[in-house]
Amino acid sequence: MRDRYPEFFSSAPLRDIACLPGWLDLIDELCGTLKTYLKAHPEVPQVRARQVKEKFGELRFYYSGGDAVCRELVARAEERSMSICEVCGQAGTLGGEHWLSVRCLDHFNWSPSGDCA
């Protein structure tokens, strides 16, 4: 992800992204859309991701730069993350007994391995 979108991720400590494999497509799509938009609107400040992580089961994409349109695009992606299994990318629901996270039926009880917990 960092290699594909160096303009977004060059300055960010982003190991967190690797912990959310099911959301990579969503993040990829978001970055692609942002990139296209920024290219068409060179006057808009470059978007730079500062942190991408899960918070209360929802994708959080923290960044600087951008404008109202970028905010809208990010908000839409964050909203969509609430119905995408964070493990595999299938349709999922927000739930879980011990923590809030979005999981499909296959991964309902799946636990992240040490590094990513």
To 5 degrees, how large is the angle CA 21–CA 75–CA 43? Answer: 110
List the one residue from 31, 85, 101, 102 that touches Zn ion (CB under 5 A): 85
- Is 84 a binding residue for Zn ion by CB under 5 A? The answer is no
- Is 88 a binding residue for Zn ion by CB under 5 A? The answer is yes
- DSSP category for residue 107: T
10 within 8 A of 33, measured Cβ to Cβ: no
Q: Which of 49, 87 has the CB closer to Zn ion?
A: 87
Q: Report phi then psi at 93, rounded to 5.
A: -130, 155
- Is 24 a binding residue for Zn ion by CB under 5 A? The answer is no
Joined tokens for residue 17:
């992204």
Tokens 């099911």 belong to: 22
List the one residue from 1, 24, 107, 108 that touches Zn ion (CB under 5 A): 107
Q: Which of 64, 111 has the CB closer to Zn ion?
A: 111
Q: Which stretch binds Zn ion (CB under 5 A): 10-18, 35-43, 72-80, 83-91?
A: 83-91
Q: How many residues bind Zn ion (CB under 5 A)?
A: 7
Count of all residues that appear for the chain in the document: 117
Q: Alpha-carbon distance 113 to 84, whole Å?
A: 20
- Is 48 a binding residue for Zn ion by CB under 5 A? The answer is no
Joined tokens for residue 20:
């959310």
Q: Which residues bind Zn ion (CB under 5 A)?
A: 85, 87-88, 90, 104, 106-107
